[in-house]
Structure 1
Amino acid sequence: MPRSHASLPRLFVDADLAKGGEVALNKDQSLYLAAVLRKSVGDEVVLFNGRDGAWLCRLTSDSKKSVTLAVAEEVAAQTEKSDLWYGFAPLKNDRLDYVIQKAVEMGAGTIQPVMTQYTQVHRLKTERLHANAIEAAEQCEVLSVPTIADEITLERLLSDWPNEHADRKLIFADEGEASSSPVEALSALKGQKIGLLIGPEGGFSDAEREKLRSLPFVVPISLGPRILRADTAAVAAMAVIQAIIGDWR
């Protein structure tokens, strides 16, 4: 997006976006623009929907209950959705929000909660995860909001993997792996579809690690000599993946 538009508010909408169109915001978004940001008729906002790119829009109505905007011009072409699959054991409260936000920023295309033996949270509100993903996309100029998959047990994930992800390798951040650089293992996966699995606080159980390491589609890696929190490990792993075999250019 051109820097001249970078300071404008960005909002995700479900409506189609095309030059000359008009978009009516929902109640919460209308209140945010009209009451919180005090935007009025003629002010500019950037809208995106994950399909049509980002568009400069101007307010044609500034009612706190229903803001409408005229779609003026495209300011960024739609990007392809990332192919990076990211699975994680849900954490508590703010750290769960953090993990979702950072996954969006780091380019995950699908975010999959995975229930393990030591998972701390067993009841997730999918709408909250989706809202966090949208907020992160709005703030970081991401045009393709990741898919938030329904939670799944680790056992079911691994048994279904050969059918659901037949051509995808699963990178497993193994806290029990001898400390080493992940560069060599990741470099060998260039050009292949990949997934990343991060365990809970306390790590995977011995039985889970044994199962993971026995599967032909799983690639265990070390994240170095230091003990990382689960949320830190997620960011570190996605960073090295994107740098070595991902979409960083």
Structure 2
Amino acid sequence: MAEVEGKIRLFVEAPLGPDATVALDPAQAHYLFAVMRLGQGDRVAIFNGRDGEWLAEVASVGKRIGTLAVVAAGQPQRVPPDVWLIFAPIKKARTDFIVEKAAELGAARIQPVFTRFTNSERLRPERLRAHAIEAAEQCGETYVADVAEPVKLAALLDGWDPARRLMFCDEGRTARPAAEALADAPRGPWAILIGPEGGFAPEEVARLRAMPWVLPVTLGPRVLRADTAVCAALTIWQATLGDWPAEGGG
């Protein structure tokens, strides 16, 4: 739940449209009425990731309950650029950071993977989804990144659709710089792969480099932490193939 430029934005699960009524859960009611001190008639922006943003006003107030009534349409539903972030989980706080920033930077899907050297295998997908929702609320988006259940990298590659190109961020620095490589790359479905703190195993690198739809890239002359690499890679992709350029479209 977030306040953006003076406008409180709230993600809800309910269908939205003209004259819709939304029942608040206890956490939402606490936030709006106890934290933000809203009362009957006050207005908030709400979205569900499907129906665009709507302006709603507080229809009823309770200690742990409440309802909102839709009063007007807001911004239309947007579609994220078709890019996935695939990453190996790291320490809890930094994994949370990765999900939050990937959602803010416009990833459509966030896919944790276990590699040979992944040193963190405990994840709570519901907590990661909460971070993605908070990021969408904060940055004014109408969609929420899909946070997938973690899988092993080998299994993910076994079922890979070759129509989706994969930008492989290779810490070995034997590939072309990402901005240069993407400048010559086609638009369409993409994914970005960031490895664990220990790097990819040799057999993982060999398999990735052998796949014709994989584009190995480097992210500069410095060794980046995984969370920094995520931000750098998504920024470069968005600036070249994503929805940042005026003519954009992922």
1:181: Cα distance to partner? 2.7
Over the aligned positions, Cα root-mean-square deviation in angstroms equals 1.4
1:166: Cα distance to partner? 2.9
Contact kept in structure 2, 1:180 and 1:224, CA below 8 Å: no
Cα separation, 2, equivalents of 1:233 and 1:69: 40
Contact kept in structure 2, 1:11 and 1:46, CA below 8 Å: yes
Contact kept in structure 1, 2:176 and 2:216, CA below 8 Å: no
Cα separation, 1, equivalents of 2:93 and 2:19: 40
Q: Which residue of 2 aligns with 1:38?
A: 37
- Cα distance change of structure 1 residues 180 and 224 upon mapping to structure 2, 3 Å threshold: farther
Contact kept in structure 1, 2:82 and 2:188, CA below 8 Å: no
Q: Which residue of 2 aligns with 1:24?
A: 23
Q: Which residue of 1 aligns with 2:193?
A: 197
Q: Which residue of 2 aligns with 1:120?
A: 119
Kindly report which structure 2 residues correspond to 1:29-68, keeping only aligned pairs within 5 A, or say none: 29-68=28-67
Q: Which residue of 2 aligns with 1:149?
A: 148
Q: Residue by residue, what CA displacement relative to the aligned partner does 1:90-148 show, whole Å, maximum 9, x if unpaired?
A: 11111011000000011100110010111121121111111111011111111110111
Cα separation, 1, equivalents of 2:81 and 2:178: 22
Q: Would you say how many aligned residue pairs link Structure 1 and Structure 2?
A: 242
Kindly report which structure 2 residues correspond to 1:1-249, keeping only aligned pairs within 5 A, or say none: 6-161=5-160, 165-178=161-174, 180-249=176-245
Secondary structure of residue in 2 paired with 1:9: strand
Identify which range, 5-14 or 213-222, moves more after superposition.
5-14
1:155: Cα distance to partner? 0.9
What TM-score, normalized to structure 1? 0.93
Deviation beyond 3 Å, 4+ runs, structure 1: none
Identify which range, 229-238 or 31-40, moves more after superposition.
31-40
Contact kept in structure 1, 2:175 and 2:216, CA below 8 Å: no
Q: Residue by residue, what CA displacement relative to the aligned partner does 1:56-81 show, whole Å, maximum 9, x if unpaired?
A: 11101121211111101112111013
Secondary structure of residue in 1 paired with 2:37: coil
Q: Residue by residue, what CA displacement relative to the aligned partner does 1:22-68 show, whole Å, maximum 9, x if unpaired?
A: 11111110111111111111111110001111111110112121111
Structure 1, unaligned runs of 5 or more: none
Cα separation, 2, equivalents of 1:181 and 1:121: 29
1:33 aligned partner, one-letter code? L
Contact kept in structure 2, 1:57 and 1:72, CA below 8 Å: yes
